[in-house]
A and B are shown apart, each in its own frame.
Chain A
């Protein structure tokens, strides 16, 4: 059911500084720098990893009115900078059913066809389980009811 790894989010306090540090220290190039994610409450820098189809995202919350921005802000306040989420590609419907059967609530995403398992359940790691990307690389929009 889990088919691949899509991205990780590293949540930071100063996205410009962090993007420069990742670029300089790791010697990798961002394809986007500090782009505000409309209606999600955070800025994002994107580092593709070779041709693996996976990414490192550096993120900085800008508004906690939104689900994503609020969750990132909470991570920063609780544990400081570091990994916010690990996103795996899955068959979303099947896995969601599997998780619900095991008696757990799933946290659905407002922004993509995906859901989250609470970090309490998985050793303090927040997992996002998302549909594979569309052929143009974009993330599939939500269609939960």
Chain B
């Protein structure tokens, strides 16, 4: 059961500049100061918008799954949307459902969640989380 979009990640070259632009054009400020996500290889600025969050991310270390994937997005297509994260009631049930129908979920190294490849989702990297 899908409940909402939990967050959207937008990958950027310069997170300080990007956060300033969000404040300038959208009139919103990050919930917390820009900080590194421990053990994930990127800098993050998160903006709460209603029930969802827009997360700006700048990869800094491709030793980690998240930082490496973000770096790949930047190199392939430049700045822009990196992934959409949907909240579901139960990640385990969703994994079972998608495996049963023959689709391969990509496990997350950092959280109880999984991904669908953008090739399957018409150009969108989708994360499923609780």
Contact = CB atoms under 8 A, between A and B. Distances in A.
- Secondary structure of the B side of the interface? mixed
A40 to B, nearest CB: 20
B75 interface: no
Q: Which of B77, B78, B123 has the most CB of A within 10 A?
A: B123
Interface in B83-113: 84, 86, 94, 97-98, 101, 103
A12 interface: yes
Contacts, number: 123
A125 B81 contact: yes
Interface stretch (B24-32, B35-43, B59-67): B24-32
Contacts of B2: 26-28, 49-50
Contacts of B22: 122
A89 B81 CA distance: 19
B120 to A, nearest CB: 6
Interface stretch (A30-38, A61-69, A95-103, A137-145): A95-103
A18 interface: yes
A10 B101 contact: no
- Secondary structure of the A side of the interface? mixed
User: Which of the four size classes fits the interface of chain A?
Assistant: 35 or more
Interface in B12-36: 12, 18, 21-22, 24-28
A112 to B, nearest CB: 18
Contacts of A21: 120-122
Interface in A9-43: 10, 12, 18, 21-22, 24-28
B5 interface: yes
B79 A124 contact: yes
A121 to B, nearest CB: 6
A49 B87 CA distance: 9
A22 B22 CA distance: 30
Given A54-B4, A86-B81, 8 more contacts: A5-B5, A10-B124, A12-B123, A49-B4, A80-B123, A99-B25, A102-B24, A124-B78
15 contacts: A1-B28, A2-B26, A2-B28, A3-B50, A8-B8, A24-B101, A26-B2, A79-B123, A82-B118, A82-B123, A86-B81, A95-B26, A123-B11, A123-B12, A123-B56
| A-B CB proximity, top 4 nearest | A4-B50, A82-B123, A81-B123, A52-B4
